[in-house]
Structure 1
Amino acid sequence: MIAAAWTWAANTKNLRRNPVHGEEEAKLVLSDQFEALDKTTHETGMEGDIDIEDDSGFLFENDLPDIEGNDASLMSGEIDQCSRCSSAGAAHLQWLKGQIDVVLEKMRNLFRQLSAKQSDSLTASIDKFWPFSDSLLQLFAETTKQDLVMNNYVVRAKAIKTGGARSVAPSAKPAAKGKNGPKEKIKEKKDRKVKKDKPKRAGKKA
């Protein structure tokens, strides 16, 4: 081992002669540390131009609900058909509730798996890093997918109007009370005048 160290020092030009005692010395490595870094990146750039003519402005309409928007704009055609009948709306809401419960159970399971991954990341070795990373990305992708599905169900449930919440529209021609009132008063005044005049005429004839 010593001979191999002196051979390595000679090959790497780490030998010198001490100016004090004249002996040959070797600069040897007594301790060494290694670090492994494996990094892979992928970048894709896309650039292009497109000209669109939209006279009606359809392409600029917001077809997804937002904080300031109306949730009923999403799938308004199907939701309106269901909301016309209160029983159909209630049945549709019950079905959506069941689907949301299923998605919630899946998300709870995914959360438990992510918590386990968080603890395993502290003890994961380098040789098992890539399988660990792939499974973690799959969990994140599945969690995002289930979150989008649940949000879709919630928006559809909010857009359904049951029978109890329906409001009766006012009649197009409300009763005009002001017009009927004066006519009745005029008729009453005419009747009173006739009644008052009749006794006077009868007295003159007598």
Structure 2
Amino acid sequence: MFTGIVEELGTVEAVEPLADGGRLTISGPVVTADARHGDSIAVNGVCLTVVEVGEGRFTVDVVSETLRRSSLKGVAPGEKVNLERAMALGDRLGGHIVQGHVDGTAVLRATEPDGLTRFEIPERLSRYLVEKGSITVDGVSLTVVEAGDREFSVALIPTTKQLTTLGVRQPGDEVNIEVDVLAKHLERLARPQLDGLARGE
């Protein structure tokens, strides 16, 4: 489990294709300070398991399902990525509950003069967004300002732009999205009742 509070910007050092996915080596002295084999580190919001660690860098394997569902399929050496270690029991929950299970991707459309950053999002995910609700964008916990059928907006403070990849993203860039897991659970629990109402039962 994560909180969506990015700890550092890491750098992708190597990308190695594998038969069922790929292997990434990433430099990140902060997140590797106490990292061990088997630990979880979120990379641009994707929870990955450390398979090797040493000298300020770590290596993770990324399965084909994760590549298909996230923007990691296009990551390249030299690229900056958001890094966060899994939260420890007793830590402050500074953002919101983030699983690191990316639901899909969105596309950055524009940064408006009023400071809002707008994203286009698939309709299958937009239904989980509400005004003032939480969303995770590239592993960053953010508050939804506006929620539409195919888009949403967030306000990025200068610190977020400085300390995460969101400060260098350009229109057309793909970002990872994780919607609020509580909304998905509520929808599943309520679905039988909603279906019954729709049938007039």
Higher helix share: 1
TM-score interval (norm. to shorter): under 0.3
Q: Tell which structure's C-alpha radius of gyration is larger.
A: 1
TM-score by length of 1: 0.18
Bigger fraction of residues in strand: 2
